[in-house]
Amino acid sequence: MDLGIKGKRAVICASSKGLGFGCAQALAAAGCDLVMNARGQETLEAAAEKIRSEHGVSVEAVAADITTDVGRADVLSVVGSADILVNNAGGPPPGMWHDWDRDDFIAALDANMLSPIAMIKALVPGMMERGWGRVVNITSQSVKAPIPQLGLSNAARTGLTGYVAGTSRQVAGSGVTINNLLPGIHATDRAQALDGPVAEREGITLEEARARRSATIPVGRYGTLEEFGSVCAFLCSQHAGFMVGQNILLDGGATNATI
């Protein structure tokens, strides 16, 4: 399917690996020119070069921490204006509800709520002026169904979801859509980082921990970066112009809910 976004300029935050990289690959395959971002320069440059050589699109890479004012300013100075924004950042650490203090909450809110809001505020006005734009926020299945040990994530991402619910309706009349993409378990470093402590606690191998978690997913496996990126690219496409303020769950059926 032609997504109708060839030549559009897309910014993908936190995209040297994992889900962000999957989105960057899919948008490049659709013909978008990219600005990619992550903190680690070497991995980011390698990811950007892979996409340039595979898809022949222009890719600028900005090594910066997207959760800080300085990092966002660095990214935005290279971006200038953009047609497509994919918001992403690392997720907060797991823990117990009584462990987290104010600073932990502020860090989670900065990373997973206030940073995407700042990027939206910086780039959506230009999209509205030009009459076309797409924003996809990578959140989590924890917005639909809480993951108890990820209380910081549950809290911060739900806050972003509330902001998007109202804001998306305020900007839709200018041709800009904002939607959230909710990953369930996907085969990334992050998923492995969460499997590690389980394996250690239960005295099993990483493979066994993964097999146990896969068995809780109706599809019977973790999602792939390609599957995730393809849905993101569709949300950024011409075809998704009537989809506004939605929370698209991509979890292999893991969240047991009728709606």
Q: How far apart are CA 238 and CA 82, in angstroms?
A: 15
Residue of 46, 70, 62 lying closest to 12 (CA atoms)? 62
The verdict on 17 binding ligand NAP (CB under 6 A) reads yes
- Which range binds ligand NAP by CB under 6 A, 1-9, 84-92, 96-104, 198-206? 84-92
Instruction: Order the strands of the 59-63 sheet from edge to edge.
Output: 59-63, 33-38, 9-12, 84-87, 133-138, 176-183, 247-250
Q: How far apart are CA 90 and CA 105, in angstroms?
A: 14
**Considering only residues 3, 11, 14, 61, which one is a binding residue for ligand NAP as defined by CB under 6 A?**
14
Extract the tokens encoding 60. 């600028």
- Beta strand 33-38 with 59-63 is parallel
Q: Is 86 helix (H, G, I), strand (E, B) or coil?
A: strand
- Which range binds ligand NAP by CB under 6 A, 25-33, 59-67, 102-110, 211-219? 59-67
**Site string (197-236) toward ligand NAP, x via CB under 6 A:** ----------------------------------------
**Considering only residues 185, 233, 240, 249, which one is a binding residue for ligand NAP as defined by CB under 6 A?**
185
- Which range binds ligand NAP by CB under 6 A, 10-18, 124-132, 165-173, 239-247? 10-18
Site for ligand NAP, rule CB under 6 A: 14-20, 37-40, 43, 65-67, 88-91, 138, 140, 183, 185-186, 188-191
